[in-house]
Each structure stands twice: as C-alpha cells, then as structure tokens.
Amino acid sequence: MKLRSLYSKFAATTIGIMIVSFLFAFFISNTYYQHYLKPDNDAKNTEIAQNISSFIEANPEMDISDYLTSVADAGYQFYLADGDADGRFYGADFRETDLSDSTVESVQNGNVYHGMLEFPRETFVTGFFANELENTIGVPVETEDGTHALFMRPDISMLFNEMHLLFGWLLILTIVISIILVLISTKYLVNPVTRLNKATDTLAKGDYNVSDLNTNRNDEIGQLSNSFVHMAEKIEQNEEMRKDFISNISHDIQSPLSNIKGYNELLKTADLSPEDEKEYYNIIDQEAARISTMTNQLLMLSSLDQEAHALNISEYRIDKQIERLIHSYEWKINQNDMMLSYDLPEVRIFADETMLNMVWDNLISNAVKYNSEAGNIDITLSEADGWITVKISDTGIGLSEEEKNHIFDRFYRVDSSRTSSVKGSGLGLSIVHEIIQRHDGTVKAASEIGTGTTFIVELPKNHK
C-alpha cells in the first residue's frame, strides 16, 4: 500500500476544508440572495424608478435629458424608450442592450417591468452584477410627447457599496464553517495520537494489550501505530522469555551448585576409594566450568548490548581457525560415533578473530550436542564476490518452523521434550546472531524436524 504522508494528508484536508467552506457559504449566501435580497433589491429600485417617473411627470417644463443625466451622475444607468426611435442611454454603458419590443410596449401600456426579480441567473454574483438592459426596472413615464418607457438600474459602483455586507457575511460564514470543519478534522488527526498516548501509559503499567490501536491508516500515524503494536508484542514476548530464562537459568545454576555441594560433602567422608574421589573431583570441575560458561555468556550479551565490546579487526586465516576448533571436538565426535567431513580452502578475512571463534565454537558445539548418535557433521567454507560463506550441517533432531523463527531470540530454548538430555541456557545462538550482525553479516538456519539443521553464515571479507 502506498504511504500517504501526514503532511500531504493535512495539506489536502486544509485545502478541502477551504473549498468546501467557501462553496457551502456561497450556497447559503446565494439562497439568501434569491429569497430575500433579490426581491428586496427589486422593490427598492422599483420605488426609486417610480419616484423618478413621478418627478418627471410633475415637472413637464423640465428637460428630461438633463434631469436623467444628473441622476445618472449619482450612480444610475437609464434607458429611455418612446417607441419611435431606438431610445437614449444615460450614465454608464450597458454591457448588453438587448431588450424585446414587447417589453417596451408593455411598460408603455402602464405595466412595471421587474427585470431584476425575473433575471434568469442562478448565482447572486452573475445576477446582481449583470450589467444588461434586461436586468433593470422599467416604469412608464407620461409626458406631453406621450408615454415613454424608462428602464433603470444602479451602476456597478453603487452595487459594490450595497453588496459589501453580503460579501462580509460570505467571508464570516466561510471562516465559521472552516473552523467547524478544522475542529472535526483535527479530532480525526489527533485522536490516533491520543489513543497512542493512552497505549503508552497502558504499556508502561505492564499491560501489553494495545491491539485496539488503528493500524489501517496509510500515513505516518498508521505506520507508527503499527510499529508500536509490533513493539508491544515484541516486549511481551521478550518479557515472557525473560521470565522463562530466569526460571531456567536459576535451575541451571542451582543444579551444578547442588551437585558441587553434594559431591563436596561426599569428599569429606574418609572411606572413599581413590577412583571415587577422582571421579567426584572431575564432576565438581565440570559443574564449575558449566557455571563459568553461563556467566561468560551473560557478560558477553551485556557487553554486546551496551556496545562496549569494540571489534578488534585483524587479518587472519578463517580456515585455520575453524580447523583448530574441529580438532578440539574430534574426541567427542569419535566418542559418539559421528562422521565428520569438512572442506576448508584457504580463505583470509578481516574480522574480530576472538569473537568469530565464539561463533564457530557455538555452532560446532550445537552440531555435536543436537546430532543423532552416529550422525553426520559437514562443514564447508567458500568465498565469492567479496563474501565468505560458512555452512555447518548436522543430521540431528532438526527444528520446527516455530523454532526457526525464534532460534536467535535471546533466552529462547528448543522444545525441552526433544532435548531433555542437552543442557543449555538459550543464550549461545543469540550471541552468534549479535556477533555476526556486528560484522555486517547474516546467519540463518535451514532445518526440518528429524532431518537435521544447517546454519549458514555469510560475512564480508573486509569488514570496515
């Protein structure tokens, strides 16, 4: 889905509000004009025209042209038709001068022409300001020369003075409607942020149920909400794994401590044979080493988390490094009747030798621990296009899809029902993942239950 930015959405909303507000205010103003202002304007100008007609009729000795010219100077336009000629215009020019003969005859017959009221325009702008002869008031004028038809309308300058109030109301309506729509739209925009803020408080209290956030919005807020929900799920998952880890690590530490204490008590007895005494000392050493390993793993994770463990980059032969580790595990491989094969061509790499040694040690150790009896272990090393690939495969218990998704998560341990004989803290592979990431590389697992597992590590040859 294409992401619409919050800026573009806000800009589009603002422009839309302005347009809708203006159109709505214009509609209200036009309705007011059609039903109230237009009839009132027609009646007012009809009264003025009739007063002018009455004044002319009351002063027969007056020159009509001079009088209409002087009135026109006050802001009116006139057309005087007597039926015998084209008529005469006074004041500003009309834009359109079309007027039917029947209209002139009707006015000369004593009827009043309400052109302003009947002018066929839908909007007040085109109707009120249409400078056309049809958009006038027509009244009859009786003189010694006969009956004339006098058509009158205010000129544009007077209309602007009369319309300023309507335009003022149009502006006020536009502003009021805009404010209302802005408040509504702002609530729409701010509401997800408010919900996100409440979700933050909820999360801070230890409640990870924030699924009611709207993650369907295709803007930054929707993206943020989606990320927040994902974060909450991840925190909840880590919290559960932390609790499991504390339980497991407590058991793993307590178990060797109990063994050490128990065998130490046995060593205090005087009737032990030299063979038993030696065996008990070996067990105590093994349990102490087990505690030491777990402690070192915890310290390493803490160091990686704080980025306090800077990489010590140097050039060395990675094939020799892996080969040395293979030799250190040969006795255990032979003890379990496993078949080991490896292909390690000469490859040089710029990396932290100590940290990568932990990676290969952990992966080879897992291949031995989780392999089936008399199983196979295969290790390959290759180089192409500036990248080094190491594959470590076994034919052991394998991993389910769920386990593959979490195998590199901290504190995660494979189903204990399938690995009850294998002791571990669930920290090794998370350390592997952290170290490989520090080297800008990748590590992934390809596996199926019952067929074994292959760990594939890809590293840049020259880490910068």
* Stretch 422-428: mean pLDDT: 62
Closest to 390 in 3D by CA, of 462, 321, 457:
457
C-alpha angle with apex 364: 363 to 370, nearest 5 degrees?
85
CB 362 within 8 A of CB 415: no
β-sheet with 442-448: strand ranges across: 339-343, 376-384, 387-394, 452-460, 442-448
Domains and CATH numbers, the chain: 6-164 (3.30.450), 220-305 (1.10.287.130), 313-460 (3.30.565.10)
Cα 72 from Cα 97, distance rounded (Å): 17
Q: Specify which residues 141 forms β-bridges with.
A: 148
pTM for the model stands at 0.47
Residues 6+ apart with CB under 8 A from 274: none
Which tens digit of pLDDT belongs to each residue from 302-356? 777 665 457 889 999 999 999 999 998 888 888 888 999 999 999 999 999 988 9
Among 47-51, 280-284, 369-373, top mean pLDDT goes to 47-51
Closest to 351 in 3D by CA, of 308, 312, 390:
312
Is the torsion defined by CA of 397, 403, 406, 412 positive or negative?
negative
Look at residue 216 in the predicted model and tell me its pLDDT: 66
Q: Specify which residues 384 forms β-bridges with.
A: 387
User: Coil, strand, or helix at residue 76?
Assistant: strand
318-335 helix and 353-369 helix, angle to the nearest 10 degrees: 30
Residues 6+ apart with CB under 8 A from 226: 215
Look at residue 348 in the predicted model and tell me its pLDDT: 95
Look at residue 335 in the predicted model and tell me its pLDDT: 87
* Stretch 416-437: mean pLDDT: 69
pLDDT at 125 over 80: no
Look at residue 53 in the predicted model and tell me its pLDDT: 92
